[in-house]
Amino acid sequence: MLHPSPSTFLRRVSRALAAGTLALLAVLGGDALAAPSKPSCPPEPAPLPADRLAAQAKDRGLMWTLKRDGRTSYLYASLHVGKPGWATPGPRLRKALDEVDAVALELDPLDRDAWKMPPMPDLPLDASLRRRLDAQAAAVCLEPQALAAMHPLLQTSTYMLLRARTLGLDVRYGQEMLLSQWARDRGLPVLALETLQGQLEALLPADADAARHELRANLQQLERPKSLLRTLDTMVGVYDRGDLVRLNRYAEWCDCVTDAADRAALQRINDGRNPELARRISELHQRGQSLLVAVGAMHMTGPRAIPALLKDQGFEVTLMPRTGSR
């Protein structure tokens, strides 16, 4: 059973991955996304035994300390898919979990009450777009109508998530999923920075022409699976190494921001959400809690990056070094 969480990492590929985590929630309790039986279908990555997990535990991603009001909180750059070997926290993340009073995520992927899907805008499609969408369902071994109740953008996002299984990636091993479980294991409350309605408003354009433009972009990515997987593999490597310099330069290697519509979508999905995310982090910290906050890694880039906005909120923000394996 998958309990995905949303957000964004890189443009087009990442936007679709983020939206797809929302899409998966619509089939929780069903079998539409069960492990496929055909050998040609991307399989679910198998979990690792405890001894192998312990051997692979290391720091991944990026983490900052946030100091203000006499307390230290932590900001962690997350990725919304991961590998089975990521299912044990590295030393830096484990230490933070042991010190804080609560974990704060964009949304808690294990809180089913928070994932009741509100009405979504309708997006009529012509026959050509419908055929292309159905072909991508078949490519990941789903029936053409398996996800028909979802917004088409969420359908393409789900197909990208299923393609990611080819690289051994799955939403079950995304950092929010793991952090939510690790928090529960420690008896820590899990707090939400956003609402599902707010995320859907950011992910799904209200204008039908803009939504169809983004749908065509997603379909183009899916119709070039080798390029899609190569970009995704690069993304995962950049994240795993905590390479903030390369992450900030993603437009140079993602082959994704090609026109004004792309730039507008990126601003809406990523930069446009950052001020409210930073305000909410500041508010929760001010309540007297020490927090471990996890937000998608692309929110840590650019002039409106969350670390910079938190400095404006009066935090002393320090990028933490990586430690070795345990």
pLDDT level of residue 27 (50, 70, 90 thresholds):
very low
What is the pLDDT at residue 250?
Answer: 75
Residue 104 corresponds to which tokens in the numbers above?
A: 């704060």
Q: Is the pLDDT of residue 201 over 70?
A: yes
Mean pLDDT to the nearest integer, 2-11? 33
Residue recorded with tokens 């001010």: 286
> Is pLDDT of 78 > 70?
yes
Average pLDDT over residues 238-259: 81
| pLDDT score for 182 | 97
pLDDT at position 44 is 85
Please enumerate in sequence order all residues whose Cβ is within 8 A of that of 62, keeping only pairs 6 or more positions apart, or say none. 76, 77, 242, 244, 297, 300, 319
Sign of the alpha-carbon dihedral angle for 124, 126, 132, 134: positive
- Asked if pLDDT for residue 5 goes beyond 60, the answer is no
Summarised one tens digit per residue, pLDDT across range 123-149 is 999 999 999 999 999 999 998 888 888
Q: Encode pLDDT of 84-119 as tens digits.
A: 999 999 999 999 999 999 999 999 999 988 888 788
Question: Which pLDDT score is estimated for 270?
Answer: 72
The three-point CA angle 298-1-175 to 5° equals 25
Q: Across the beta sheet with 102-105, what order do the strands follow?
A: 190-192, 102-105, 291-296, 71-78, 62-68, 316-319
- pLDDT score recorded for residue 101: 98
pTM to 2 decimal places: 0.86
Instruction: Over range 301-314, report the average pLDDT.
Output: 94
Residue, of 187 and 171, whose pLDDT is higher: 187
Q: Is the dihedral of CA 202, 204, 207, 209 positive or negative?
A: positive
Helix, strand, coil in percent for the chain, rounding step 5: 50, 10, 40
User: Does residue 188 or residue 9 have the better pLDDT?
Assistant: 188
Percent of the chain with pLDDT over 90: 57
Judged against a pLDDT cut of 90, whether residue 16 lies above it is answered with no
> Of the ranges 133-147, 170-184, 266-280, which one carries the lowest mean pLDDT score?
266-280
Q: What pLDDT is stored for residue 324 in this prediction?
A: 56
| pLDDT exceeds cutoff 90 at 152 | yes
Ramachandran class of 70: left when φ > 0, alpha when ψ lies in -120 to 50, beta otherwise = left
pLDDT category at 121 given cuts 50, 70, 90 is confident
**Residue 64 near residue 318, CB atoms below 8 Å:** yes
58 pLDDT band, cuts 50/70/90, is: very high
Q: What are phi and psi of 283, to 5 degrees?
A: -65, -45
